[in-house]
Amino acid sequence: MAEENKIPTEENATMLQAFEWYIPDDHTHWKRLARDIEKYRDIGITALWIPPPCKASSPSGNGYDIYDLWDLGEFDQKGSVPTKWGDKDDLVRLAHNAEKAGVLLYADAVLNHKAAADETERCRVAEVDPENRTRFISDEYEIDGWLGFTFSGRGDKYSSMKWHWEHFSGTDYNAENNKTAIYKILGDFKSWAQSVDNEKGNFDYLMFADIDHSHPDVKKDINDWGIWIAELLSLRGFRFDAVKHFSEEYLKEFITQLKTNVNEDFFFVGEFWKDSLSDMLGYLDRLDGHKFSLFDAPLVYNFSEASKTESFDLRAIFDGTLVQARPISAVTLVMNHDTQPHQALEAPIEGFFKPIAYGLILLRQEGYPCVFWGDLEGISGEYKEEPSCGGQLSDIILARKLYAYGEQDDYFDYPTCLGWVRRGAWDRLNGCAVIVSNAGPGEKRMFVGEEHKGEIWTDVLGWEQGEVHIGEDGNADFKCPATSMAIWVNKDAPGRDQFGKFKPGKGILQGVV
């Protein structure tokens, strides 16, 4: 086939989780992202996963303590007009800048629960065993639950629905006696959702006021919201929080509504956080036909274990992971806001291993990699941390953008040192050779192709000094430092002058102009 008739190779897709838990609650984060969107695009970020944009229970809430879906920082509710991240105008401006820069926007959708109700309401309940929510541990009785949501600051703008006890399936607090428990709300057609994870008997209930997605008014309001926010912000996808805790059947309906009314090619990824490949595959099978992805939790735990285990056998790093079993459905990651230090699902990864882990998700064919803001820009607040990878994570992302294309040849023949080669594509001729070691200095003889004979390759990170001369047979000996990595590319390859230009941490440290 003539080259002019070949399909151009698309640029590699890379997602940025554009927040971390401890970003200051100065209500200017949307401005930071809008200001820096082109900077991220230049290093190879093609999509931003933004935090929950809806009004939380307080001006400091990250949005997972969600109060009002329809308030994007527009109304004076729960102590402020803006959310922690900023006001609606700033969010719309971010969406505009992202679209202009060619960066896709994915919003974090928290559809499992609501928090910070405006009023208590009397309702019938029975307490259930926290370790087995299918087992009642009390008789039926009435409580005063925080279950009335009137949205007085917003009124009826965008949605006239007010939420009451019948729109929820459970709650965790009785205001009558200040008792905390898991209360199953009782009434006609009331039950826990059945299409949820079976941990703890039935894992429908997670926190706050648990939404009953079987109620027709609930379904209509959330479906309408999904279409509204997707069109308002020109969204190209959603990240769904806590999917193992709410109805799979309802999620299918929500997805169908978006594909039918907004965009058939919407991207959907769920947070099904469980170190169980079989459960993850079962979930994906049940959502078959909805083009759904999951974050690869088992891979994160493998990275954590590998970083803490001396001479861990790197050949097993992908064992039991989603990216190995079903790469088309895997969003790969190293850390997120839940697993970062001092969070509930903390999965510590030693600093030396971060570049190795990012190399394994960014420079290989399989999976859709998601970079964590805290690793790229640093972590703020009481638990402040500098950007990972010696401040050069951006260079690993850039190497993915420029060189990680084409066939992949693996050299997984030694327990503490792995190598692989990306052979390039017809219109992206400069591939790369990657080598990682979790022990002493690494070295592998790898084949990059006879078409590269006589070329001189160097490490784009600058961590391994020296040059490699590609032999007449297309082979060469590639090295990396101890407990580190190297990314070898032709020293004359286009784009080599772009490395080292990204300055991490500035999004927080320099404030917003």
Active site residue ranges = 241, 271
Residues 6+ positions from 333 with CB-CB distance below 8 Å: 17, 295, 296, 299, 300, 361, 369, 370, 371, 372
Other CB atoms within 10 A of residue 32 CB: 24
Alpha-carbon gap, residue 303 to 325, rounded angstroms: 17
Bridge partners for 104 per DSSP:
47
Locus of tokens 């401006």: 93
Residues 6+ positions from 218 with CB-CB distance below 8 Å: 167, 211, 212
Give the 3-state secondary structure of 35-69: HHHHHHHHHCCCEEEECCCCEECCCCCCCCCEEEC
How far is CA 471 from its chain centroid?
A: 42
Task: State both tokens at 118.
Answer: 């405006």
Alpha-carbon gap, residue 316 to 499, rounded angstroms: 31
Give the 3-state secondary structure of 444-482: EEEECCHHHCCCEEEECCCCCCCCEECCCCCEEEEEECC
Cα 147 to Cα 45, 143, 183, 210, 221: the distances in Å are: 41, 11, 12, 10, 17
Half-sphere exposure of 32 (CA within 13 A, CB side): 24
Residues 6+ positions from 89 with CB-CB distance below 8 Å: none
